[in-house]
Amino acid sequence: MPHEPTILAFDTSAAHCAAALLVAGEIVWERVEEMGRGQAERLMPLLEEGLAEAGLSWRNLDAVAVGVGPGNFTGIRIAVAAARGLALATGKSAIGISTLQAQAEDMPRPCLSLADARRGMHYAQVLRSDGDEAPMIVNDPTSLSPTLTRAPVANPATLAPAMARLAAQRLATGEPIPRPAPLYVRGPDAAPPKDPAPVILP
């Protein structure tokens, strides 16, 4: 019987800190905390609380999964930097999962996945069984593949569990897993954040 991995997933790509723990194919713990800022300070304590509540420790993990966006520029960098650091510290894989993939987890392919990009724009990606198209940013999503079924817009409460399950599927393939990297479909807004974002090494 194949080993079912234990995966801790987390996402800070929007105004939230979301996390979930997958054990033997089941989500045994999940948490979403709405917050406009402060994810950098809250993320690690939240993950440690989840492991403690499940009676596990970092050494019990087979991998961590992280939301790579698209979404909030600084929030994505916080989560990706944390995932890379955890991978180095634990020797386990860090698996990047996009918001657009996570919210379409149970959708039949092909489908269209959309997310609010603010300022009247949308992130969009056509997901296919034989390979996903590149994500893009559009003003009018109705002009894109009008015949395709649309995935529901992401709910923070469902993102981390979906990311954990998708990461388990990717881990099961046995294929090499690249280090997670932020998925930026557009550049950051002109005004820089008050606090510097974590540096993402190449």
**Spans of all domains in the chain:** 7-105+154-172
CATH class of 7-105+154-172: alpha beta
Which residue, chain included where needed, has tokens 């649309």?
Answer: 150
pLDDT tens for each residue of the chain, 202 residues long: 568 999 999 999 999 999 999 999 999 999 999 998 999 999 999 999 999 999 999 999 999 999 999 999 999 999 999 999 999 999 999 999 999 999 999 999 999 999 988 888 999 999 999 999 999 999 988 888 788 999 988 788 899 999 999 999 999 999 999 999 999 987 555 455 556 666 666 5
pTM above 0.95, yes or no: no
Note the pLDDT of residue 124: 94
Q: What is the DSSP string of 141-198?
A: GGGS-TTSEEPPPP-HHHHHHHHHHHHHHHHHT----PPP----SSPPPSSPPSSPPP
Closest C-alpha to 115, from 126, 94, 100, 98: 100
Note the pLDDT of residue 187: 59
DSSP H stretches of helix in the chain: 39-53, 73-90, 99-102, 156-172
Question: Residue length, the chain?
Answer: 202
